[in-house]
């Protein structure tokens, strides 16, 4: 086990360099770029260089959720979130990096969701402590959740418009699904699957999410055959995912399987 996040990133870089070349994985180079950017962010954090930390982290998460989550080091995660807040309106900092970083925190860390409501200089961990109990008990009301997802949607759309890579379409599709905007979510999943290489780690779950969204449509709009095709495509895609990712299916796979096995859909 790595002594710290930086050591863990270095170990993964060595693994990708070895297995990526040997296995001919299309995503190897993109994953190496992500990991190297994450390592730069970590080193900038250690040197307390906020601008460099934000830009390197933004470059890492433009592709997709990071292979190694910064939340594994809480101090690093808090520093990143505060640095993103401080750099949000700084014209010297790359706008795509800030948008991508904000979107990541909106989706992954409920303690950091209200970034835009926090005054500059306020410590993020103090905010987390203040709301910790309500997050654990309630996970926020639907109104709060909708507001948080809207913030993520805005940041993701800005990142996509700025020329971000295909993984952003997958992430935005997840947000749209949570907002019950299923047709728009399906369009983003389709765009992602059109652009992504076959061994991209989000391809299986994109198929499973599409299957689930199709099954959740209103009555006559449910296309069980298409949902089943996407579910089976997701199963095939799992075998193509690179070994260093440690692929674990999302809840979409489980729920889609449950619905496809339900009496109402079985045999259709």
CB of 105 closer than 8 Å to CB of 151: no
Structure confidence at residue 135 (pLDDT):
37
Lowest-confidence range among 33-47, 66-80, 82-96, 115-129? 115-129
d(CA 199, CA 20): 11
d(CA 75, CA 183): 39
Structure confidence at residue 98 (pLDDT):
83
Residue 262 in 3-state DSSP?
coil
Of the ranges 107-111, 180-184, 221-225, the best mean pLDDT one: 180-184
* Residue given tokens 């190694």 in the structure block: 68
HSE-up of residue 63 (Cα within 13 Å, Cβ side) = 22
Structure tokens, 106 = 């909106």
Structure tokens, 188 = 């983003």
Percent of the chain with pLDDT over 70: 79
Averaged confidence pLDDT in the chain:
78
CB contact set of 143 (below 8 Å; sequence gap of 6+):
none
Nearest C-alpha neighbor of 33 from the set 69, 9, 3, 4: 9
Residue 238 in 3-state DSSP?
helix
- For the full predicted model, state whether its pTM sits above 0.75: no
106 band by pLDDT with thresholds 50, 70 and 90 = low
Statement: residue 141 has pLDDT above 80: no
Is 159 or 120 the better-scoring residue by pLDDT? Answer: 159
């Amino acid at each position: 086990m790595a002594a710290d996040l930086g050591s863990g990133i270095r170990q993964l870089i060595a693994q990708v360099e070895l297995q990526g070349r040997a296995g001919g994985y299309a995503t190897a180079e993109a994953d190496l770029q992500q990991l190297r950017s994450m390592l730069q962010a970590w080193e900038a954090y250690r040197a307390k260089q906020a601008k460099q930390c934000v830009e390197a982290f933004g470059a890492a998460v433009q592709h997709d959720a990071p292979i190694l989550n910064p939340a594994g080091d809480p101090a690093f995660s808090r520093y990143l979130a505060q640095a993103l807040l401080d750099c949000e309106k700084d014209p010297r900092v790359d706008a795509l990096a800030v948008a991508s970083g904000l979107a990541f925190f909106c989706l992954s860390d409920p303690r950091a969701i209200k970034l835009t409501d926090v005054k500059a200089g306020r410590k993020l961990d103090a905010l987390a402590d203040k709301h910790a109990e309500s997050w654990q008990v309630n996970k926020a009301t639907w109104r709060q959740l909708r507001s948080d997802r809207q913030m993520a949607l805005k940041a993701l759309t800005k990142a996509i418009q700025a020329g971000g890579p295909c993984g952003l379409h997958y992430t935005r599709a997840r947000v749209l699904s949570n907002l019950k905007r299923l047709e728009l979510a399906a369009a983003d999943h389709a765009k992602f699957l059109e652009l992504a290489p076959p061994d991209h780690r989000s391809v299986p779950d994109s198929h499973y999410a599409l299957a689930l969204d199709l099954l959740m449509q209103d009555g006559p709009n449910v296309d069980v055959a298409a949902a089943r095709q996407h579910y089976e495509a997701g199963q095939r895609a799992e075998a193509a995912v690179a070994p260093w990712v440690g692929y674990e299916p999302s809840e979409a796979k489980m729920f889609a399987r449950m619905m496809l096995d339900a009496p109402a859909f079985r045999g259709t």
